[in-house]
Amino acid sequence: MQRRLNIKERESIRERFDGDMLYRLVADVTRHCASRVHVLRLTPEEVLLELSDVLDGMKEDPDRKHYLCQTTWDMLAYEIRGAGIDVPDDEMEMYVQGVMMTLIVCLALVDAAACRTLAMGLMMELDNHARQSEITSWQQWIGTLVCRMGEDGLRVRMNRYWSGDSYLTDEIHEVLEAAVCKEEPGRGMMPVIKNIINTGGGPAIMGGSFSEGVEFNNLKEVGQ
């Protein structure tokens, strides 16, 4: 994250993804993190950018799943640290944990073997960096959240994304370019998103639906 999004950019992304189940989940996770930190207050739109970068990379090249899972924590930590000069370790870790748990939930809802493998790999990597009490807290909180916001809607959203040809970062890129052109007519198109992020693109795995109480432990058991 080379720079923070400005107000106009945040508004443009918010308007584009208004009502989107994935954006709603990311926004809730971001606010959950922001309410527990004192220095680094990322916005839902900035966190969506980071999550989209990881998701798109996995969608574009699932054959590199083991490498992508192993490097996700470090990549997110590096990007999030770029949002501030003196970001406390615990605050950086809070956001990384939130993004990784969101990724795990979203991938687990996709009806594709590659996504189940990715979700397991991310869970194992998260286990290498976070305390078990922190992971358990996230599992309970996000499991309840997904159940209440509508698991089926999020499942449909993620399956449509994974099976489609579009990428989230491309959609966000278009939104940001349009915002620039609207604000500065004649400036022309520019790779806005590259100044913000550094890009490199089922229930079976969870042991049941979120409404039944997600068994996140199944991820580690299958992956061991």
Provide the pLDDT for residue 92.
95
CB 145, CB 25: distance < 8 Å: yes
**Average pLDDT, rounded, for the chain:** 86
pTM of the model: 0.83
From CA 108, how far away is CA 119, in angstroms rounded?
6
More confident residue, 197 or 14: 14
- Answer whether residue 199 shows pLDDT above 70: no
Question: What spatial distance separates the first Cα and last Cα of the chain, rounded to whole Å?
Answer: 33
- The string of pLDDT tens digits covering residues 151-168 is 999 999 999 999 999 999
Q: Which two structure tokens, joined as six digits, stand for 34?
A: 């922001």
CA distances from 197 to 50, 68, 72, 131, 173 (A): 7, 17, 14, 28, 11
Q: What percentage of residues in the chain have a pLDDT greater than 90?
A: 72
From CA 93, how far away is CA 36, in angstroms rounded?
12
Provide the pLDDT for residue 65.
87
Provide the pLDDT for residue 180.
79
Provide the pLDDT for residue 197.
47
Provide the pLDDT for residue 184.
63
- The string of pLDDT tens digits covering residues 35-85 is 999 999 999 999 999 999 999 999 999 889 899 999 999 999 999 988 877
What's the average model confidence in pLDDT over 137-155?
97
More confident residue, 196 or 75: 75
What's the average model confidence in pLDDT over 112-125?
95
